[in-house]
């Protein structure tokens, strides 16, 4: 929005006309139901219109007028240089401000953090592009193949004067809308770009910037899938809508990388919150199916279901501490607990320490495989008179003193 406001003084009716004609062509051309994608006739019409306006001395910005290049022999040209990239060692190319580049250990130390950041950003953007295309095509991408291909390309490119590249959502969407169905389309795309560099450079110089702008506006609109977004906001869970709105806002205010980073972190936090809320504790002392015999006074049986990880364990064992107050003993069934992490084990140890101080006996039963491994790594074993671990709830109940013994 700031860029649009700053560009108001350079308003041009001629360029607005070219953009409008290009946009109208993009909208109406699909109605003809031809096999030719609308992007090609739209750009051709925009270029012809730009040439006509230039003939009548109406200035229209084109690729040729906006960009220029200087060859090794000092020749200056407009538009795209009609030359293939030449092989050159990256460390022999000029550094910042044209200064000679010095390859040293200190230089590598300086470049490594930036290289890592670029690699991560490139991976995120490429995988995001793949996800967008998956949603449009109904297919499923191979993340390993995408990143491996991108990595090889980015290793080779600098030897020909290129810079780091990623998958581009805008170009990919245009490619898909034009009828691409397989990786062969990408190969043809590469050959067309190569052909454009060598043969079509002069012709491409006549393409007006306003026509390209209209094309990108149409691509952006189709890529946004606004109807799906509105439906998502109306029907999706509240946490998902929060992530969606946050990513949308940060993308507009800052950039996509910040939006994705914050969005992933926010989604992870909300997911942990949701999973933590699924962990429940319930008393089953008076349920005959699970506890068939009457327990002596002062004994309770509780069942925990859900993952006992750091986000849920403190709350659950805090509740259990309150529930087991003023009791002689408690039986805790972990049959519904599939995960017990270090945070969960620390909360369990805190609960057991409080029970020891109150002289409350604890019997823990039905420990699943993963929680059992965690307890073994933590060297947590049975301690007679304080805590006992059993394989089943029946074995745990058998250890509870019978009412006759109490008398």
**Average of pLDDT values for 3-14?**
89
Residue of 22, 80, 18 whose CA lies nearest to 50? 18
Helix (H, G, I), strand (E, B) or coil at 295: coil
Q: How far is CA 287 from CA 37, 314, 393, in A?
A: 69, 26, 13
- Taking the CA of residue 299 as centre, how many other CA atoms within 13 Å lie in the half-sphere pointing to its CB? 23
392: confidence class by pLDDT, cuts 50, 70, 90: very high
Give 3-state DSSP helix, strand, coil % of the chain, rounded to 5: 60, 10, 30
Tokens found for residue 302: 């509780």
Tokens found for residue 368: 């699943």
Percent of the chain with pLDDT over 90: 44
133: confidence class by pLDDT, cuts 50, 70, 90: confident
Average pLDDT along the chain: 88
In the block, residue with structure tokens 């795209």: 80
Distance CA 389, CA 395 (A): 9
What residue spans of 138-168 are helical by DSSP H? 143-156
* Angle between helical axes of 169-177 and 184-198 (0-180°, round to 10): 110
Tokens found for residue 176: 């898909």
**The pLDDT value given to residue 19:** 96
- End-to-end CA distance of the chain: give it in Å, rounded: 82
pTM of the model: 0.62
**Average of pLDDT values for 73-81?**
84
**Average of pLDDT values for 159-168?**
85
Percent of the chain with pLDDT over 70: 98
* Angle between helical axes of 342-357 and 310-323 (0-180°, round to 10): 20
91: confidence class by pLDDT, cuts 50, 70, 90: confident
Distance CA 388, CA 382 (A): 4
| pLDDT at residue 404 is higher than 60 | no
Of 100-104, 140-144, 291-295, 298-302, the poorest mean pLDDT is in: 100-104
Q: Comparing 192 with 214, which gets the higher pLDDT?
A: 214
Helix (H, G, I), strand (E, B) or coil at 172: helix
406: confidence class by pLDDT, cuts 50, 70, 90: very low
| pLDDT at residue 405 is higher than 60 | no
In the block, residue with structure tokens 């980073």: 261
| pLDDT at residue 225 is higher than 80 | no
| pLDDT at residue 407 is higher than 50 | no
């Amino acid at each position: 929005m700031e860029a649009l406001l700053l560009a108001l003084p350079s308003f041009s009716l001629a360029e607005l006309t070219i953009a409008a004609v290009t946009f109208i062509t993009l909208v109406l051309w699909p109605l003809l139901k031809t096999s030719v994608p609308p992007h090609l006739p739209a750009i051709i019409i925009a270029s012809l219109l730009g040439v006509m306006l230039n003939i009548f001395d109406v200035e229209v910005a084109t690729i040729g007028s906006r960009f220029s290049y200087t060859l090794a022999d000092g020749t200056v040209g407009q538009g795209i240089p009609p030359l293939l990239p030449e092989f050159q060692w990256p460390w022999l190319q000029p550094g910042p401000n044209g200064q000679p580049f010095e390859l040293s250990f200190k230089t590598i130390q300086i470049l490594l953090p930036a290289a890592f950041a670029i690699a991560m950003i490139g991976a995120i953007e490429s995988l995001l592009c793949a996800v967008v295309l998956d949603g449009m095509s109904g297919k499923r991408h191979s993340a390993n193949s995408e990143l491996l291909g991108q990595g090889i390309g980015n290793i080779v490119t600098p030897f020909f004067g290129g810079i780091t590249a990623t998958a581009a959502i805008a170009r990919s969407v245009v490619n898909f809308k034009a009828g691409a169905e397989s990786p062969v389309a990408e190969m043809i795309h590469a050959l067309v770009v190569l052909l454009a560099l060598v043969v079509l450079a002069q012709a491409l110089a006549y393409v007006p910037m306003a026509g390209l702008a209209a094309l990108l506006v149409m691509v952006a609109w189709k890529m946004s899938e606004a109807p799906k977004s509105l439906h998502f906001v109306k029907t999706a869970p509240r946490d998902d809508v929060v992530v969606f709105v946050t990513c949308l806002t940060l993308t507009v205010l800052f950039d996509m990388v910040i939006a994705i980073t914050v969005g992933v972190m926010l989604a992870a936090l909300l997911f942990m919150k949701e999973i933590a809320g699924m962990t429940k504790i319930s008393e089953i002392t008076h349920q005959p199916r699970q506890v068939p015999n009457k327990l002596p006074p002062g004994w309770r049986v509780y069942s925990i279901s859900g993952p006992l990880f750091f986000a849920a364990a403190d709350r659950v064992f805090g509740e259990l501490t309150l529930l087991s107050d003023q009791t002689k003993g408690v039986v805790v069934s972990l049959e519904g607990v599939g995960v017990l992490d270090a945070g969960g084990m620390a909360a369990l140890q805190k609960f057991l320490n409080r029970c020891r101080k109150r002289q409350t006996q604890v019997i823990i039963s039905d420990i699943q495989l993963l929680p059992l491994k965690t307890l073994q790594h933590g060297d947590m074993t049975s301690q007679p008179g304080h805590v006992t671990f059993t394989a089943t709830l029946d074995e745990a109940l058998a250890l509870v003193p019978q009412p006759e013994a109490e008398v």
